Amino acid sequence: MKRNSRLSGVLHVLLHMAEADRPLTSEALASMMSTNPVVIRRVLAGLRRDGMVHSEKGHGGGWRLARDLSDVTLRDIYVALGEPGLLALGHRTESPDCLVEQAVNAAMEQAFQEAETVLLDRFGEITLAALSADFHERLHRRSDDAV
């Protein structure tokens, strides 16, 4: 089953925006992500509704962050993306008449809940500022290696 990398992609884009001192166009972001500008606009449109980013038309326009890096957690981004399903596994039937299937669903559901809770809790602990700090650390490490 193919995995949804939208959250991963959005974080990538947001951090690039954080590094830039001017708005970045959909086209610039799309080429960083090797995708199409329209895809970028579609995804960022969702984040704009939640006040994560801001967009401007015309010359010098493009996308920039609307909130402080330390104010935003991965969980916030995840919610802004519409809370897509976290788990690749699911039930065959959501409300089955078959008692066998009801028993199966009940057992799995509990495990699913726990895993989702763990994942979201972790996401809630990671701010964009932390990601940015990690990035800058890697940057220094790389330049040290080069010397």
Q: By the criterion CB under 8 A, which residues form the site for its own copies?
A: 1-5, 7-9, 11-12, 15-16, 19, 32-33, 74, 84-92, 98-108, 110-112, 114-116, 118-119, 122-123, 126, 130-132, 134-135, 138-139, 142
Phi, psi of 74 (to 5 degrees): -55, -35
Q: Which stretch binds DNA (CB under 7 A): 2-10, 66-74, 111-119, 133-141?
A: 2-10
Q: Which two tokens stand for residue 29?
A: 């972001």
Residue 44 and residue 37: Cα distance in Å, rounded?
11
Q: How far is the CB of 57 from its own copies (least distance, A)?
A: 26
Member of 42, 136, 138, 141 binding DNA (CB under 7 A): 42
55 forms part of the interface with DNA (CB under 7 A): yes
Q: Which two tokens stand for residue 138?
A: 């890697």
Q: Which two tokens stand for residue 123?
A: 């996401």
What SS3 class is residue 63? strand
Q: How far is the CB of 15 from DNA (least distance, A)?
A: 17
133 forms part of the interface with DNA (CB under 7 A): no
Q: Report whether 7 contacts 77 (CB < 8 A).
A: yes
62 forms part of the interface with DNA (CB under 7 A): yes
Residue 23 and residue 17: Cα distance in Å, rounded?
7
Residue 110 and residue 10: Cα distance in Å, rounded?
30
The site for DNA (CB under 7 A) is made up of 1-2, 4-6, 24-27, 34-39, 41-42, 44-45, 48, 55-63
